[in-house]
Chains A and B, each alone.
Chain A
């Protein structure tokens, strides 16, 4: 497990260079899931540049990773608007490595089902299921109440089930 070093320097906020050493990879992957791999490095870099500018705003009320994900989400939204990227078209699932022995669901169909989710539902699925954030952390990143995260996640899974129903029936039969 990655060691988190959240060093807060008096009068200067956090050490963003250290934060980049610790969290660049998860931030990059998070950005890649929103704007695609090609633009992910730009988005990640912008995230840390913004973090450097506003580092004095970090009070340690949330984890550093959550704080960085919050900034990254805003940067990704801005970049997506600027480059006219539709987040639903960005692949989340690695369809090239389908393991017939272990995977029950067809990854291609799973990717299609994820593409049918709304942006809000997709965001909670990414934050909770893929990035592994708790409901509370996801709520902080999205700046919404915890109840909203719970509700969005429930509806996202309902929709995924509806989309995959045929596949699931086939798989469990």
Chain B
């Protein structure tokens, strides 16, 4: 080993006895090495004597801070801290338990209410069993305001007719019929579903035929078909098909199997409440219509007849409108719509693939969907955090307190 490398360690007495003897032997024999060592010794000595020795500042400030910290820690001993933390948790539980209990009760009440509404909606085609709110909000010109002898109308409390025979003319004159509540099974949700599929196919004509056969086999129909493409050009087609709602998934899969799927999407809207609402209102309006018919027969004066006829006319218009809505909703929920866009494969590999006609719109739609999804996610997260704040804020504070305690 090079002795020069150990020269500094020799001066500092940081060598083993054996190595020190070896270096000493080399030093005795080499004058240049002695001069080098002498210089190092001189340099070390000069460094120590010439080093800046600045006077310390800020000692009092540091000591004050440290003493304050230690005093502060002595005020609350660790056992007391644990006891306080336990008491805090107990207090928190005592506060939160009634809140949870109330929340649970409210949740049960809401669930019961929802169940009741669903049952009412499901029963609408068979008999009206809507809630009081439905009745109040949606029933116009109630026949409870029945004409009485003498030409005027008398307002009757609806509850007073409960339990009476709806077909009894006396009851009809005195108030609206009420249908006794009945147990109704929960109805399947009615969905308005639609799907979009974009496909790449070998032959557009053939693919359209194949799709049509498949849809018809499922009990559906082709609502719209548009095939385009001249000779030597890539053909394209767009068909809009309607399939029974129950076959929607199978139809989507069947359409995708016709060619190479490029994109697909599906949307669904729950129309159960809408349908139930329309049907319930329809039921009520029909009952009203019957009452007005009976009232018309019972009318004695021209004034009464004209008044009842006006009301009957408006009720019938309302019934027509509601019936149309019901049919439309039923049609939409019975049959789902699938839009299939087909594009022939590029036969000439050199030819550039033209972009889809509506690519910008698709991109815009997709980006909007993503934006809405992110917005929904953030809103949900904010709601969750807000609602659960009584839980996570105290827990966070306890964690923060413990972290600070152990970090010190």
Contact of B330 with A by CB under 8 A: no
User: What residues on A are CB-neighbors of B12 within 8 Å?
Assistant: 128, 135, 153
Chain A window 3-27, contacts with chain B (Cβ cutoff 8 Å), 1 for yes, 0 for no: 0000000000001110011001100
A67 to chain B, nearest CB (A): 16
Which 10 residue pairs of A and B lie closest in terms of their CB atoms, listed nearest first? Answer: A41-B58, A28-B56, A17-B66, A25-B56, A129-B47, A24-B59, A130-B51, A32-B54, A45-B62, A41-B57
CA distance A132 to B44 in the complex (A): 11
B4, B5, B43, B63: the one contacting A164 at CB < 8 Å is B43
Interface residues on A, range: 35 or more
A17, A91, A104, A135: the one contacting B46 at CB < 8 Å is A104
B8, B43, B54, B407: the one contacting A105 at CB < 8 Å is B43
Q: Is the CB of B63 within 8 A of A17?
A: yes
User: What residues on A are CB-neighbors of B59 within 8 Å?
Assistant: 20, 24-25, 28
Near B by CB (< 8 A), chain A positions 40-90 give 40-42, 44-45, 48-49, 52-53
User: What residues on A are CB-neighbors of B407 within 8 Å?
Assistant: 53
B48 to chain A, nearest CB (A): 6
Beyond the given pairs A129-B44, A130-B47, A157-B43, 9 more chain A to chain B contacts, judged by CB atoms under 8 angstroms and listed by A's residue number, are A17-B63, A41-B56, A44-B58, A49-B66, A110-B46, A125-B47, A134-B14, A153-B9, A153-B12
Contact of B209 with A by CB under 8 A: no
A15, A134, A135, A157: the one contacting B40 at CB < 8 Å is A157
User: What residues on B are CB-neighbors of A21 within 8 Å?
Assistant: 63
Q: Is the CB of A45 within 8 A of B65?
A: yes
User: What residues on A are CB-neighbors of B48 within 8 Å?
Assistant: 129-130, 132
Q: Is the CB of A91 within 8 A of B52?
A: yes
A128 to chain B, nearest CB (A): 7
Nearest residue, chain B, Cβ from A136: B14
Contact of B61 with A by CB under 8 A: yes
CA distance A150 to B19 in the complex (A): 14
Contact of B340 with A by CB under 8 A: no
User: What residues on B are CB-neighbors of A154 within 8 Å?
Assistant: 4-9
Q: Is the CB of A48 within 8 A of B62?
A: yes
Chain B window 25-49, contacts with chain A (Cβ cutoff 8 Å), 1 for yes, 0 for no: 0000000000010011011101111
Q: Is the CB of A17 within 8 A of B70?
A: yes
A4 to chain B, nearest CB (A): 17
Nearest residue, chain B, Cβ from A90: B52
Contact of A116 with B by CB under 8 A: no
Task: State the B residues within 8 Å of A (CB).
Answer: 4-9, 12, 14, 36, 39-40, 42-44, 46-54, 56-59, 61-63, 65-67, 69-70, 407-408
Does more than half of chain B's interface fall in helix, strand or loop, or is it mixed?
Answer: helix
CA distance A25 to B63 in the complex (A): 12
User: What residues on B are CB-neighbors of A53 within 8 Å?
Assistant: 407-408
A70 to chain B, nearest CB (A): 18
CA distance A56 to B408 in the complex (A): 9
User: What residues on B are CB-neighbors of A52 within 8 Å?
Assistant: 66, 69, 408
Q: A20-B59, A33-B52, A135-B12 are in contact. Are A110 and B65 (CB under 8 A)?
A: no
CA distance A16 to B64 in the complex (A): 12
User: What residues on A are CB-neighbors of B62 within 8 Å?
Assistant: 20, 24, 44-45, 48-49
User: What residues on A are CB-neighbors of B9 within 8 Å?
Assistant: 135, 150, 153-154
User: What residues on B are CB-neighbors of A24 within 8 Å?
Assistant: 56, 59, 62-63
Q: Is the CB of A161 within 8 A of B54?
A: no
A-B contact pairs, 22 of them (CB 8 A): A16-B66, A20-B59, A20-B66, A28-B58, A41-B56, A41-B61, A45-B65, A53-B408, A92-B47, A93-B50, A93-B51, A94-B52, A103-B50, A110-B46, A110-B50, A150-B8, A154-B6, A154-B7, A157-B8, A160-B43, A161-B39, A164-B43
CA distance A125 to B12 in the complex (A): 12
Task: State the A residues within 8 Å of B (CB).
Answer: 15-17, 20-21, 24-25, 28-29, 32-33, 37, 40-42, 44-45, 48-49, 52-53, 91-94, 102-105, 107, 110, 125, 128-130, 132, 134-135, 150-151, 153-154, 157, 160-161, 164, 168
Nearest residue, chain B, Cβ from A21: B63
Q: Is the CB of A28 within 8 A of B57?
A: yes
B5, B46, B54, B66: the one contacting A48 at CB < 8 Å is B66
User: What residues on B are CB-neighbors of A29 within 8 Å?
Assistant: 53-54, 56
User: What residues on A are CB-neighbors of B54 within 8 Å?
Assistant: 28-29, 32, 37, 40
CA distance A93 to B174 in the complex (A): 112
CA distance A161 to B41 in the complex (A): 11
CA distance A107 to B50 in the complex (A): 7
User: What residues on B are CB-neighbors of A150 within 8 Å?
Assistant: 8-9, 14
CA distance A93 to B51 in the complex (A): 4
B39 to chain A, nearest CB (A): 6
